[in-house]
Amino acid sequence: MKKLASMILLAMMALSAAAVFPAFALPPDSMWIEPTAIDGSAVGGYNAKFNVTIWFNVATMTNSWQFYLIYNKAQLNATRCDYTGSGKSLWSGALPVDTVIPSYGSHNGTYDYVVFGEVLKASAEKTGTGSLAWVEFQIIAAPGKYATLSSELRLDVTGVYRSFALDKGFVDIPLTYGKSDYTYAWILPPKPNVSIGPDQTFGPAPPPAVGQTFTETLKIDSISADWGLHNATVDITGINTTLIEGTSFTNGAIWNNFVFDNTTIPGQIHIEVWNPSSTPTGPVIIGTLGFRVKDQGPYGSVYKSFFNLANVVLWDTTAKIDYGSLTNATVTVNGLQLLPNAYLEVSSATLGPGPAIGELFNITVRLKNLDKGWFALGLDFRLSYDPYYITPVAANEGPMLPYFAALQPGSSGTWFVSYVENYPPFGPNVVIGNLILPNATGRWNKPFPNSTATDPIVVYITFRVEYQSFGESNATSPLNIIDQHIVGLVDPLAYPQEIVYLPLANPHNGTYTITTTWPGRMIDVYTQYPAPFGGQGLGMPSDMFWPQKQVELYANVTYNYWPVQQKDVAFEIRDPHNTLWAVLVARTDTNGVAYTSFRIPWPCANPEDLFGVWTVVATVDVACVVVDDTLQFHFDYLVEIFKVTTDKFEYNHCENVVVTIKYGTHAQQIYPLVLYVVIKDNCDVPIGIAFITTTIGGTQFCTYKNYTDSVAIHVDKFAFAGIAKIFVTAYNKLPGQGGFAWCPTYGDGWPIGGTIPQIAIQPY
């Protein structure tokens, strides 16, 4: 604090010294003006005000002083005058003085004056240096263009009215007088810039560019009124008259006269404007030109026309005005795109309301609306995410591009890359790249990708949940495509093939949402199948069971998702006829899970009567409140063969019998299936067999998923003529491989009452 106070004191002393000691001094016994030179532009120009100070330096004892200051009254006007001290001059110091009032008047036809003075009282005298008074002037005249005003402020006038210093006997003290030079020069304004614009772009998206009109504005971007602009001449060159044609010209409103010539030189326009109605200032439009597009090529082509400014001349009434920069314009016409734009679609995910921290979930990115006519090859993009909520852990290539790579003759497959970045300007994002590779000669072949031939998934991105807080509201954050590119061929038949960027529409972004709730008491009963096929979740059904398969029952008991241990859970089991088969009890373990099991009965008489939907109800008492959950599942053969038919009834030897099998399943999970078809002739001889190896499943609860398959079996010459029968059996795999039948053999007394397929082998 002491150091700061010292600095302030030093600054105040320096200011005081500046008031006492002049910046410039003549020899002793002199009176002068400061500043000694005044620049009218520097002090503000026309109408601005400035001050001058009268100084005194005497070695002879002096009693009084007067200055008589003259100035050019056509250029300046004295508006105020006063002592430099408080009620007196700083020169007189502490001595008492008699003061006067400053007087103003006309000195002659050229000059006006200011007169002012001071007398020391009691015939006191002193010597020394100090300022006497200040005079305020206003600038009342501005120089003409390219001109300079100059004059002097003088103190050395002789005659009755004059400057002087007297001793106490009223004797003149000879003085040397100084003057101040005043100048005010016209300053060159900033150079004006000339431009034409704006740039124009047409295509590739519809509508067609041909026939569309546009305007270009030719203007002086900014010009000072000090230039006194009178006329302007500009040529516009580089115009592609095959691509565009001129349609109109309108001169700027300020110009009374103009010349417009767009015919003398092809591809060039000559413009002149002159005789403005007012002094041009600020942005000044020279003229507005209208054009129409005449041509547009096929997609991938790029045509251009230029508006280049040349031979620019700006004039005032006496001389050229130098210009600064020239800004040209360009018209770009891209080839017409007749195909729709593809776009990337990001799926959304919702987790919760149960505990989800550490859980994994997948996001898919699909390339939608892609037409094969784009000849697309690959793409890349960035998917942004909020690392506060989720973290990417893996990215796997989707089926879209591999599907088409496998169809392109000679393709080496696909190139797929993924990595995580967190750099400006994109922030946290997953980078994905996917490309179909060419054949060994470096060329791509048909077919090219489209969004309808297969599921257009480009990538599966797996995230891990990082944040969840119960008691807070649900959290949602965006999953946005923030940078995207797609490439394809201009013409797949061209040599060499040319790769170009293709247009992409705005992406359809996704969101990540995690929901939370306090559910209180809960029980969830499910089977041994993995989620979601075991019926995990309140009221959810389990996948089906087949005859004599063990049903393993689990019940997860929680209070606000926290396990409730050592609680007895009751399981009630009923068949499709609501017949009660068992009531079982199991106790929850440290994880809050109770376990029990039973095997579905298979009675001796009509066991299929138990086929249908079985129901399990689980109940538990949690803190004196009973909660329950219901689980249902289908009990059935895993495969039901509905119908077996042939393409006709009568066959000759050495013909093929086309056998069609219609079958279905209630299975939600995927299981292996072998359909074994055999024909036995009239003497029970197997005369032909066929296999269908496939998979079955993927249906929804309470819904059959139906299939139809056909095989051809040859009727050998050794077959006995007569009625032959067809038998179809479904296995998980053949018995010799350890397999078993999924259902009875169709045609061997099953289904009961069903029509057994037969054919007639003719005796000729």
Q: Please tell me the least confidently modeled range out of 26-35, 174-183, 751-760.
A: 751-760
**Band of pLDDT at residue 225, cut at 50, 70 and 90:** confident
Beta-bridge mates of residue 672: 695
The model's pTM: 0.50
- What pLDDT is recorded for position 227? 87
Which two three-digit tokens encode residue 97? Answer: 């003085």
In contact, 18 and 131? CB cutoff 8 Å = no
How far are the Cα atoms of 122, 129, 393, 433, 455 from residue 459, in angstroms, in the given order? 106, 91, 13, 9, 11
Pairing mode of beta strands 255-261, 269-276: antiparallel
328/204: higher pLDDT: 328
Sign of the dihedral through C-alpha 433, 439, 445, 446: negative
How many residues are present in the chain?
764
Q: pLDDT of 109-133, one tens digit each?
A: 999 999 999 999 988 999 999 999 9
- Domain 343-514 identical in fold to domain 640-761: yes
Three-class HEC string of 248-313: EEEECCCEEEEEEECCCCCCCEEEEEEEECCCCCEEEEEEEEEEEECCCCECCCEEEEEEEEEEEE
The count of other CB atoms within 10 Å of the CB of residue 22 is 17
**Band of pLDDT at residue 22, cut at 50, 70 and 90:** low
588, 590, 593, 597 alpha-carbon torsion, rounded to 10°: -70
**Band of pLDDT at residue 26, cut at 50, 70 and 90:** low
Burial class (CB in 10 A: 0-12, 13-18, 19+), 690: middle
C-alpha to C-alpha distance for 557 and 588, rounded to whole angstroms: 7
Q: pLDDT of 645-654, one tens digit each?
A: 999 999 999 9
Instruction: Enumerate the domain spans of the chain.
Output: 20-185, 194-334, 343-514, 521-635, 640-761
- What pLDDT is recorded for position 300? 78
**Band of pLDDT at residue 8, cut at 50, 70 and 90:** very low
Residues in contact with 11: Cβ distance below 8 Å, sequence separation at least 6, in sequence order: none
In the block, tokens 């030079």 appear at: 181
Which two three-digit tokens encode residue 702? Answer: 């309470």
- What pLDDT is recorded for position 453? 87
78, 84, 90, 96 alpha-carbon torsion, rounded to 10°: 90
- Correct CATH for 343-514 of 2.60.40.680, 3.30.420.40, 3.40.50.300, 3.40.980.10: 2.60.40.680
Is the pLDDT confidence value at 238 over 60? yes
**Band of pLDDT at residue 7, cut at 50, 70 and 90:** very low
From the list 185, 178, 146, 158, the residue with the least C-alpha distance to 45 is: 185
Cα 606 to chain centroid, rounded: 68
- What pLDDT is recorded for position 371? 93
Q: How confident is the model over 511-537, as a mean pLDDT?
A: 94
Is it true that domain 194-334 has CATH number 2.60.40.680?
A: yes
In contact, 376 and 488? CB cutoff 8 Å = yes
Q: What is the DSSP string of 514-566?
A: E------EEEEEE-SSPTTTT--STTPPPPPB-TT-EEEEEEEEEETTEE--S
Is the pLDDT confidence value at 256 over 80? yes
Looking at CATH, the fold of the domain delimited by 640-761 is given as Immunoglobulin-like (2.60.40)
C-alpha to C-alpha distance for 15 and 6, rounded to whole angstroms: 14
Is the pLDDT confidence value at 16 over 60? no
Is the pLDDT confidence value at 15 over 90? no
User: How many CA atoms lie less than 13 Å away from 510 in the CB half-sphere?
Assistant: 19
The count of other CB atoms within 10 Å of the CB of residue 253 is 10
From the list 522, 521, 525, the residue with the least C-alpha distance to 630 is: 525
CATH number of 521-635: 2.60.40.1930
Peptide bond before 283: cis, by omega within 30 degrees of 0?
Answer: no
Q: What is the DSSP string of 378-389?
A: EEEEEEE--TTT
Q: pLDDT of 465-494, one tens digit each?
A: 999 988 888 889 999 999 999 999 988 999
C-alpha to C-alpha distance for 308 and 196, rounded to whole angstroms: 8
Second-level CATH architecture of 20-185: Sandwich (2.60)
Residue 18 phi, psi dihedral angles, 5° rounding: -65, -30
Alpha-helical regions (H) of 537-659:
none
C-alpha to C-alpha distance for 527 and 571, rounded to whole angstroms: 12
